[in-house]
Amino acid sequence: RKEVEQDPGPFNVPEGATVAFNCTYSNSASQSFFWYRQDCRKEPKLLMSVYSSGNEDGRFTAQLNRASQYISLLIRDSKLSDSATYLCVVITGTGGSYIPTFGRGTSLIVHP
């Protein structure tokens, strides 16, 4: 089983739709979680952190379920500019040495 798994998609949705991605992780000791966005042939950029209590940033909502070991990203009112690959990142480590592990990414295509 891979450490971090995501459905690669693509998710093909119309503008204005609501879309959700999940990401599962295998190491129950993982401490921190993030969602990154990567545009084609570009570097990943931090979208948002994921907290146990859940967090929202505009149209984006991230949630963490430690019991089931998954994180989710919900995008409301999708825009054309949301088209990208969304990577979940899981941080694991101890003693000040933390290693980020990336999921394969979920591709989102928002069409008119």
Partner 1 sequence: GAVVSQHPSRVICKSGTSVKIECRSLDFQATTMFWYRQFPKQSLMLMATSNEGSKATYEQGVEKDKFLINHASLTLSTLTVTSAHPEDSSFYICSARAAGQGYGYTFGSGTRLTVV
Footprint of partner 1 on this chain (CB under 8 A)?
4, 8, 31-32, 34, 41-46, 49, 87, 89, 91, 97-105
Please identify, using beta-carbon distances, which residue of 42 and 79 lies nearer to partner 1.
Answer: 42
Please identify, using beta-carbon distances, which residue of 44 and 71 lies nearer to partner 1.
Answer: 44
**Shortest distance, CB of residue 3 to partner 1, whole angstroms?**
10
Q: Retrieve residue 98's tokens.
A: 């933390």
**Shortest distance, CB of residue 36 to partner 1, whole angstroms?**
8
Q: In 1-112, where do the E strands start and end?
A: 4-6, 11-14, 19-25, 32-38, 45-50, 55-57, 60-65, 70-75, 84-94, 97-102, 106-111
Torsion sign (Cα): 30, 64, 109, 8? positive
**Which of 41, 40, 33 lies closest to 88 in space, CA to CA?**
33
**Shortest distance, CB of residue 77 to partner 1, whole angstroms?**
25
Please identify, using beta-carbon distances, which residue of 44 and 84 lies nearer to partner 1.
Answer: 44
